[in-house]
Amino acid sequence: MTKVYPNAASPLPQVCGGECRELEADPVSAVLTVWKKSLIFNCDGFTVFGADGRLVYRVDNYMFRNKGEIVLMDALGNCLLTVRRKRLSLSDSWTVFDGETADNPRFFVRKSANLLNTKCVASVTSAGGGRSKNEMLYEIQGSYPRRCCTFYDDKRRQVAEIRQKESSIKGVDFGADVFRLVVNPGMDAAAAMAIVIVLDQMYGSSTARFFLTN
């Protein structure tokens, strides 16, 4: 069986045609392999490996937990960020908090409803904390179901990318459950992973969304 975690020497493949530009990883960029699977039995979640194959982040969604809340943890199980859905929002909208409390919102992620900008799938805005509330931080363009998304900051600089992962073994396909998250300097990798979690709720499988909206 081919390994899910990355080979540090493997290149970043171009798999999305003209819709996604090739992102050449900076020497200090974080190149993560995201596996849409929890390491704990009977849990839905994510397992994220670094370029050296070590566990970096994990998400373990227990069925008995708050169904509108997802916790991003480090390799030791410490809570880094908490993602919560806005229940009364007219749009598909989520808030990302520092740690496990609801006292320190970091940013908001909203599903795009702009019919004039069909490339945009979600927008990320500030929750305050030194910046104006609802100030634009990032725009995500592309297609999450195809694992082909580009993150742009407020100056239109490409700061992160979701891209399909190819196996080094010919004929072996990881499918949509294993993909790369490349985060360039200047963007927090944990924040990028939190955005991935929200995108999965917005555009992922109906089974995953069911657990968090009912």
Residue scoring higher pLDDT (167 or 208): 167
Residue 41: strand, helix, or coil? coil
Per residue in 109-155, pLDDT (tens digit) is 999 887 777 899 999 999 987 788 889 999 999 999 999 999 999 99
Query: Is residue 194 packed enough to be buried (19+ CB in 10 Å), middle (13-18) or exposed (0-12)?
Result: buried
First to last CA, the chain: 36
The dihedrals phi and psi of 81, each to the nearest 5 degrees, come to: -140, 150
Each residue's pLDDT tens digit, 53-112: 999 999 998 654 555 789 999 999 999 999 999 876 667 899 999 998 778 899 999 998
Concatenate the DSSP letters of all residues of 6-32 into one string. Answer: PPTTPPPP--STTSS---PPPTT-EEE
**168 band by pLDDT with thresholds 50, 70 and 90:** low
The token pair at 72 is: 């991003």
Residue 183, pLDDT above cutoff 90:
yes
Q: What is the pLDDT of residue 150?
A: 98
In this predicted model, which residue has the larger pLDDT, 43 or 203? 203
What is the pLDDT at residue 137? 96
C-alpha span between 92 and 83 (Å, rounded): 13
Q: For the chain, what is the mean pLDDT? A: 81
Q: Do the Cβ atoms of 88 and 98 come closer than 8 Å?
A: no
CATH number at 30-213 = 2.40.160.200
In this predicted model, what pLDDT tens digit does every residue of 5-54 receive, in sequence order? 554 433 333 334 334 444 444 557 899 999 999 988 778 899 999 999 99
- pLDDT at site 18: 36
The predicted pLDDT at position 201 comes to: 93
Every domain of the chain and the residues it spans: 30-213
